[in-house]
Amino acid sequence: MFELNGRRAVITGAASGIGLAIAQTFARNGAAVAMVDLNLERVTEAAKALSAETGANALGFACDVSSEESVVAAFDAIGTRVDILVNCAGIAHVGSLESTTPADMDRLYAVNVRGTYLCMKYALGPMLAQGSGVMVNLASIAATAGLSDRFAYSMTKGAVLAMTLSVAKDYIARGIRCNCISPARVHTPFVDGFLAKNYPGQEAEKMAGLAKSQPIGRMGRPDEIASLALYLCSDEASFLTGVDYPIDGGFFNLR
């Protein structure tokens, strides 16, 4: 089950965190993976390591997902076969309506919304030509839950959810499925860096607080998100489209 043999997956934000975990999981299950990230050196190193570990065809590509020119160049380099697109590239922001500046809004929109749109747009052509394809977007529980001090971030993830539903509706008859995943807090290098920068000397205390915010008592792991993405992109999920999948440690229903 859940094999991706013979399929080519494009994964953005693939140099670290959830994107890297998804690339690793897909490669271990037979996919050729095009790993896309802003940092060429890191994504190239990650692709080489993954190829050496799995024997899969893993390649790294530099791309600024907020730039149409950069996205077009990346998809031109990737080639005409795209069976799967997973949009993981994204940035976070802490702030309420009062403290969020127009520049904050523009920066979050450029990556999280425009970037997701551009990558879907330029993956769509190859999928339509093939008559098949799967898109998975990383949204967040912030898309549908009120979270403190996440005004701009919540806006962007709500847009990702809305775009997912629209694409699923428009292309269901043309062989393309589109779903999104909405994680609660996941322990990634971003979390470690955020705590080190903003709470030096209090990392352990703050980490414990983040873990307790989920009823299950811990943050999620990137590989757990990757397992759900694998299912959604596999033939076992062929009856699923237009769905937002929370993976949240009980956040919504058990608080």
CATH number, domain with residue 23: 3.40.50.720
122, 153, 171, 245: the catalytic one is 153
Residue type present at position 7:
R
Residue 197 and residue 164 share a domain: no
pLDDT, position 199:
87
Residue 206 and residue 88 share a domain: no
pLDDT tops 80 at residue 110: yes
d(CA 134, CA 121): 13
Question: Domain of 139?
Answer: 8-184+221-246
pLDDT tops 90 at residue 186: yes
Specify if 253 maps to a domain. Answer: no
pLDDT, position 206:
87
pLDDT tops 80 at residue 255: no
Per-residue pLDDT band for 142 (boundaries 50, 70, 90) equals very high
Residue 162 and residue 197 share a domain: no
Specify if 174 maps to a domain. Answer: yes
Q: Is 171 left (phi over 0), alpha (psi -120 to 50) or beta?
A: alpha
For residues 73-93, one letter each, b for 16 or more C-beta atoms within 10 angstroms of the residue's C-beta and e for the rest, the string is: bbbeebeeebbbbbbbbbbbb
- What are residue 135's DSSP bridge partners? 85, 178
For residues 28-49, one letter each, b for 16 or more C-beta atoms within 10 angstroms of the residue's C-beta and e for the rest, the string is: bbebbbbbbbbeeebbbebbee
Check the CA dihedral 50-51-57-63 and report its sign. Answer: positive
Specify if 252 maps to a domain. Answer: no
Residue 136 and residue 119 share a domain: yes
Residue 105 and residue 22 share a domain: yes
Residue 207 and residue 144 share a domain: no
pLDDT, position 213:
84
pLDDT tops 80 at residue 47: yes
Residue 83 and residue 122 share a domain: yes
* Residue 171 appears among annotated catalytic residues: no
Phi, psi of 180, deg, nearest 5: -135, 155
Residue 97 and residue 130 share a domain: yes
**pTM of the full predicted structure?**
0.95
Specify if 72 maps to a domain. Answer: yes
Domain count, the chain: 2
pLDDT, position 254:
84
Report pLDDT digits (tens) over 154-180: 999 999 999 999 999 999 999 999 999
Residue 180 and residue 205 share a domain: no
Specify if 81 maps to a domain. Answer: yes
Specify if 66 maps to a domain. Answer: yes
pLDDT tops 90 at residue 195: no
H or E, element range at 203:
helix 203-212
pLDDT, position 71:
98
Residue 191 and residue 80 share a domain: no
Per-residue pLDDT band for 191 (boundaries 50, 70, 90) equals confident
Beta strands in the chain (DSSP E): 8-12, 32-37, 58-62, 84-87, 133-138, 176-183, 244-247
